[in-house]
Amino acid sequence: MSASPITKQGRATRERIVRAAAELIAERGATGTSLDEVRAATAASKSQLYHYFGDKHGLVEAVVEHQCASVLGFQARALAAVSDWESLERWAQLMVNGVEQRRGRGGCPIGTLAAALADSDEPLRVSLNEAFRAWSDAIRGALTRLRDNGLIAAEADLDRLTTIALSAIEGGLLLAKASRDADPLRIALDGAIAQFRLNAPARRRHPSA
């Protein structure tokens, strides 16, 4: 059974282990990452790993929680700033910039974990699906502000547009990861935003729409 650290040093140690494990799992997958490799990367003892996480599954659970919180925190902040087409474009560019900085590596942490775990671990599938739902809620909130500001028609199907956006992100990130090139994500997001613009009120449609 794992134990939550109660000291500042203990919390820092646990966080360091989780971050290192997250990097290894992103590179090698959950099944391809051993506790011994995590120990080597963090200089943690076997007793520390079992104290904080119980077993490998507990460590993977901690990685899922960490990656979901990291991605959702960034997306919530970035999407909260969206109120017009220009700020929407900035949100998209932020994601493209991130892929460029990583030289196409990494993909989506949540998507990568979902691809590896959703068919083999039901509790983690549920956790990852909840993360996607939270991400969808943040996207829908941004689209709602665009609608409230008169940029998207009142009758537009925001749930459909949200799914288009999240699918573009996940597909674009996967293709960017495979190609080591940010262009697939840029193109996918451009396509999603073009679809949003097609749902603008007729009098406010973008000239290219």
Residue 209: pLDDT band (50, 70, 90) is very low
Is the pLDDT at 200 greater than 70? The verdict is yes
Burial of 22 (0-12, 13-18, 19+ CB in 10 A): buried
Q: What is the pLDDT of residue 10?
A: 78
- Contact yes or no for 205/198 (Cβ under 8 A): yes
Burial of 102 (0-12, 13-18, 19+ CB in 10 A): middle
Residue type, 75: Q
- Contact yes or no for 71/107 (Cβ under 8 A): no
Look at 29-33, 38-42, 169-173 and tell me which has the smallest mean pLDDT: 29-33
Q: What is the pLDDT of residue 6?
A: 61
Element (H, E) at 104: none
Is the pLDDT at 2 greater than 90? The verdict is no
More confident: 90 or 32: 90
The torsion defined by the Cα of 78, 88, 159 and 64, in degrees rounded to 10, comes to -30
